[in-house]
Structure 1
Amino acid sequence: MDIRRLHAFVKIVDLASISRAADLLNIAQPALSQQLATLESSLGQKLVIRSKSGVTPTSAGSTLYRHAQLMIKQLERATAEISAGSGPLVGRVSAGMSPYSAGSTLSLALLRRIRSHLPLITLHLTESFDDIYSEMIMTGRLDMAVIHGAGPIKGVSFTPLMREEFFLLAPIDMDLPLDENGAVHLASIVHLPLLLPPTHNFVRKRIDMAFQRKQITPTTIAEIEGIHTMQDAVAEGLGATILPWSVASRIAVEGRSRIVPLRNPTIQEDVSLCVPESIPETEASVAVKEHLMDLARAMASSRSWPGTHPV
């Protein structure tokens, strides 16, 4: 099977358009349509459905898309490793860092470490609420990801990195019902205006679970994906939020917002490194993974990260 046809098919599915894929690949649209027809003929299956809204893969097309991504990536890896020979590690390594978790805090430290120790590796970092990292791991679009939770998910291997405790981040002048230890209890903040991550985020799911177990409903006034918007909204007094220390400490504004321990219950979540089970790792991805795990272990053991513990 021609690898160029597989590459073209992946672009058609990614862009949901034959014409846009043809433009991107610098191929005439009729020629690209013929390549698709040849692929469908050789497999004996219809691979896409065309409509006014664009192109969508059939069940067979989705299966081919998943395998094609893996084959293309493996070929790219083989080419890079062969070209490098016995010299320094080279290649492209992709890592997904879950927003509102220690993953996003580790991003910059990992970039510094790779630039210092593995300068010929191109590190691709992504932080996204929209992408499902476990699916991207299974299809080979990501080499690894740092996410909240520890699985299990078929096709993905999880290694717990640390356990994070959640804190309340509130405007400096917000009247809070503090206990004798300077903490707030979950039931006592039920009427506070809360700014929370969207419902599909792991942090939000853990927060919702804690409120549900206490059989209380929080006063959620907004759902915010952007970390800088969250920072500004809390600092301006629009509401409070609940986040792991790794994130809350990064967006707290001196003199305008403060971090308060959250108790009864203490909300905790494991942060894990996930990699594909069935896709062989490259030397470059293994090296990046080891540096990432080393940084995570240092963070979990550091006294400067309250509420962050080794697992």
Structure 2
Amino acid sequence: MNLRRLKYFVTIVDIGSLTQAAEVLHIAQPALSQQVATLEGEMDQQLLIRTKRGVTPTEAGKILYTHARTILRQCEQAQLAVGNVGQTLGGQVSIGLAPGTAASSITLPLLQAVRAQLPDVLVYLHENSSADLNDQLLSGKLDMAVLYDRSPTVGIVSQPLLKEELFLVGTRGCPGQAVDLCAVAEMKLFLPRNYSAVRKRVDEAFSLRRLTAKFIEEIDAIPTLTAVIASGMGVTVLPESAAQSLVSSANGWMARITNPALNLSLAVNLSARAGLSPQAQAVKDILMSLIVRPLQENRELLLVG
């Protein structure tokens, strides 16, 4: 087993076609098929299933794919680390952001800070659900991800940043600075689907109080949710940072939920198998400082007000 063969295998799985992979890799398809056959012989396992629609990995292939991504990424990081000795940091850093997290509000400041402090580093930002972001961390497609995740995931190291309180947000009929969870259950609620961390926390709170919520629609996209709440059709529940953003754009109100108060832990997730490259560590340091500082300042303003 060698690195070139692993690279071929990863490319085939990513593209899902031997023919297209051969074109991307600039290698004849029969030669690429032979490389796969050699790899399967070394593993003593069938790694790919060939169909008329393309190729998909077997269970053994999925396991090898995950390890191969990690191996190739570590080799790339080793080359970059050696090449960067005595030089400024450079290369690409991939960051995943869960929609509605505090990290979403610092995207522009992050890019500006990286451009100022690390001009040779290219940042790739990817927004997706927490589950998908963790999968991409495990496969080596992302360096880090910022998300609300309350359950441990095998192969993921989670570094807590802070806890954000959940707020009720709307544009009509403000209930005041605080609202009881029982009152929330009587309102027309628009929330993400049940795989989101916010939805899971809200459902858990309703269940513990034996309440039944009036869910009108399930909306994952923040722009759509903002438009719906701005129209006055109902209310939603969001972490503090996302709530402040929606209130600002929709000219609405936000109320702290009580009995019980609800909160979520914001964390930076990393792969337990692949260490961060020097440039990724530098970007992570900038990211963490930008996330924590604005939220602390916003809380101070709210307390003063």
Q: TM-score, normalised by structure 1?
A: 0.88
Residue 205, structure 1, aligned to residue 200, structure 2 = yes
- Structure 1 residues not aligned, in runs of 5+: none
Once the two structures are TM-superposed, the CA of residue 151 in structure 1 deviates from its matched residue by 4.5
CA distance in structure 1 between the aligned counterparts of 2:42 and 2:81, rounded to whole angstroms? 31
CA distance in structure 2 between the aligned counterparts of 1:111 and 1:210, rounded to whole angstroms? 37
SS at match of 2:257: strand
The total of aligned residue pairs comes to 303
CA distance in structure 2 between the aligned counterparts of 1:137 and 1:255, rounded to whole angstroms? 34
CA distance in structure 1 between the aligned counterparts of 2:302 and 2:74, rounded to whole angstroms? 40
AA partner of residue 45 (structure 1): Q
CA 1:47–1:307: 2 relative to 1, 3 Å: farther
The superposition leaves residues 230-282 of structure 1 with CA deviations (integer Å, 9 ceiling, x where unpaired) of 11111112221100121121122566432222222211011111222232222
AA partner of residue 15 (structure 1): I
CA 1:216–1:233: 2 relative to 1, 3 Å: same
CA distance in structure 2 between the aligned counterparts of 1:169 and 1:57, rounded to whole angstroms? 45
User: 1:251 maps to what in 2?
Assistant: 246
Identity %: 36
Give 1:196's match in structure 2, choosing from 191, 194, 205. Answer: 191
User: 1:102 maps to what in 2?
Assistant: 102
Give 1:274's match in structure 2, choosing from 269, 276, 283. Answer: 269
CA contact (8 A) 1:158 1:273 kept: yes
CA distance in structure 1 between the aligned counterparts of 2:249 and 2:290, rounded to whole angstroms? 26
User: 1:77 maps to what in 2?
Assistant: 77
CA distance in structure 1 between the aligned counterparts of 2:130 and 2:249, rounded to whole angstroms? 31
CA 1:278–1:130: 2 relative to 1, 3 Å: closer
CA distance in structure 1 between the aligned counterparts of 2:47 and 2:302, rounded to whole angstroms? 50
Which structure has greater helix proportion?
Answer: 2
SS at match of 1:45: coil
- Structure 2 residues not aligned, in runs of 5+: none
8-17 vs 88-97, which moves further:
8-17
Residue 11, structure 1, aligned to residue 11, structure 2 = yes
CA distance in structure 1 between the aligned counterparts of 2:204 and 2:151, rounded to whole angstroms? 17
The Cα RMSD (Å) is 2.3
After TM superposition, list the pairs within 5 Å mapping 1:134-173 onto structure 2. 134-149=134-149, 151-170=151-170, 172-173=171-172
SS at match of 1:252: helix
User: 2:41 maps to what in 1?
Assistant: 41
User: 2:61 maps to what in 1?
Assistant: 61
CA contact (8 A) 2:94 2:123 kept: yes
CA distance in structure 1 between the aligned counterparts of 2:20 and 2:181, rounded to whole angstroms? 51
Q: TM-score, normalised by structure 2?
A: 0.90
Residue 216, structure 1, aligned to residue 217, structure 2 = no
